[in-house]
Amino acid sequence: MIKFILKRLGLALLVALTVSAISFSLLFMSGDPAAAIAGETASGEDIEAIRRIYGFDRPVLVQYWEWLLGALQGNFGESYYFKLPVADLIAERLSITMTLGVCGITFALVTAVPLGVAAAMRPNSLIDRAALLLSVMGQAMPSFWFGLILIVIFSIQLGLLPPSGSSTPIHFIMPTIVLGYYAMPAIMRLTRAGMLEVLSSDYIRTARAKGASEVRVMFRHALRNAIIPVVSLAAVQMGFMLGGSIVVESIFALHGAGYLAWESIGRNDLPTVQALILVFSGFYIVFTFLADVLNAWLDPRMRTA
């Protein structure tokens, strides 16, 4: 197990280093960063002065190395637009995005896994068809449209939930449903397919022949093996939720890290965009690594893969 963890950890560090290089290169992909900071009306002397102040006149590898060392220490530089340390901006907004992401994936798992199990237990039944209908609707329904529909119904017409803000836990109910519903179809279908495959296995028939109760067969034998790919998918979906929460945060006026990314892209605030890409990618890498370790613990065969 330790050898497996070290191998996965080395792979995760290699991916993180690659992502950092790509994030840093964004600074130069959009053109001359000194000219972007100076503005359209700046003279050549002003651009050269900014280039010296920010160190853009030094070799790219030197700039990348210093930026990487600063990022490892939590120093991502200063925002071009907000004129504040990027680390402070992200720290202020990240808690909202993390809360939304955790609530969203929890809602998705709590609803999708039981639906997948119930659909597998009774294939082609009414509950199976209802679960598949919810899955298709979740895939076809755009998040922004679903969010606006919830606001119209539960905020404007019924007055039950606040339409925007993040000051109380109630403000996160509708954003959680919208973000979690996005991940539900894939998790539900994968749970259903895994359970159908496992339930046809010989060891399940053996457990039933020995007189094991149906609850024990389902949750002790079947679900333990069927849930393995769901763990990996949930880790991937959690990473997507953190990085893809821009639309949901914009609809419900949740000024989290996703909304900060949208603001920074629109204002050409490259240091903030760089840092957010690195942070979101870091979370994605960590979740994937933890999912691999959990899967290896659930299924010892994966440790030799």
Identify the pLDDT of residue 220: 67
Which domains does the chain possess? Answer: 92-256 (1.10.3720.10)
- The whole-angstrom separation of Cα 70 and Cα 84 is 16
pLDDT of residue 102: 87
User: Average pLDDT of each block of 10 consecutive residues along the chain (305 residues)?
Assistant: 74 83 74 66 70 72 82 81 84 86 88 86 82 80 85 89 84 89 84 80 72 69 73 77 77 83 79 84 81 70 60
Task: Give 190-193's long-range contacts (Cβ < 8 A, gap of 24+).
Answer: 190/116, 190/229, 190/230, 190/233, 191/112, 191/113, 191/115, 191/116, 191/117, 191/120, 191/226, 191/227, 191/230, 192/115, 192/116, 192/117, 192/119, 192/120, 192/128, 192/131, 193/120
Q: Is 300 exposed, middle or buried (0-12, 13-18, 19+ CB in 10 A)?
A: exposed
pLDDT value at residue 8: 74
